[in-house]
Amino acid sequence: MAAKSSNENAREHTIETWMLTIVQDGGVARFDDLHIDQIDEQWKPREMWIQGGVEAFRLALMVRDRHQLPFTVGLGFSLESGEQLTSVDFQTGEEFMARVDWSPPSLYLFGPGREPSIETAVIQKLNRNLFPGLPQTASCYHTEFREIRTNERRHSVFLEG
């Protein structure tokens, strides 16, 4: 096995610290998230969000498994709001990114039965090819929920594993 780069070690440490903290302080129940640009500045540019998100997701799965935590790892991409979306029609990463809002994707931990695929309306299962390098055990969904404060419909794409 190849040695990890210092970048990968730093990313893994950031994810591990976040994950263990929210498990201890109730952040899982609050849906405390970790934006990928907080993990690595290199993932701040929009054109890095898919690649950086998948890498952060992969590292989070490793950390979760190492600590034997009973949670589902999620990676969420928020889509532009205000639309009545009944399905998504993007076939490529570029088409997908054109629908993503201004916020970088975020990691989440979900307790059993609290995953977006259970807690929100799943509009559509998505093609895994939109996310190159995605682990085989992961699922991709387009979800919809109502924002409690504004009653606005919000749409997201979640990877779960």
- Banded pLDDT at 1 (limits 50, 70, 90): low
pTM over 0.75: yes
SS3 at position 87: coil
13 located within any domain: yes
Residues 36-49: what's their mean pLDDT? 97
Question: What's the structural domain count of the chain?
Answer: 1
95, 81, 30, 16: CA torsion to nearest 10: 20
15 located within any domain: yes
Where are the extended beta strands (E) located within 12-136? 34-35, 72-78, 106-110, 121-125
1 located within any domain: no
Per residue in 9-41, pLDDT (tens digit) is: 999 999 999 999 999 999 999 999 999 999 999
Q: Tell me how far apart the alpha carbons of residues 15 and 9 are, in angstroms, rounded to a whole number.
A: 10
First to last CA, the chain: 23
22 located within any domain: yes
Residues 93-119: what's their mean pLDDT? 91
* Residue 131 pLDDT: 93
Per residue in 50-93, pLDDT (tens digit) is: 999 999 999 999 999 999 999 999 999 999 876 565 567 788 88
Average pLDDT, the chain: 89
69 located within any domain: yes
Pairing of strands 72-78, 34-35: unpaired
Domain housing 117 = 6-160
- Which whole-number Å values give the CA distances from 161 to 19, 21, 110, 115, 136, in the listed order? 15, 20, 10, 10, 9
104 located within any domain: yes
Residue 9's H or E segment, with its range, is helix 6-25
CA 108 vs. chain centroid, Å, equals: 6
* Residue 124 pLDDT: 84
Residue 128's CB is within 10 A of a number of other CB atoms, namely 14
12 located within any domain: yes
20 located within any domain: yes
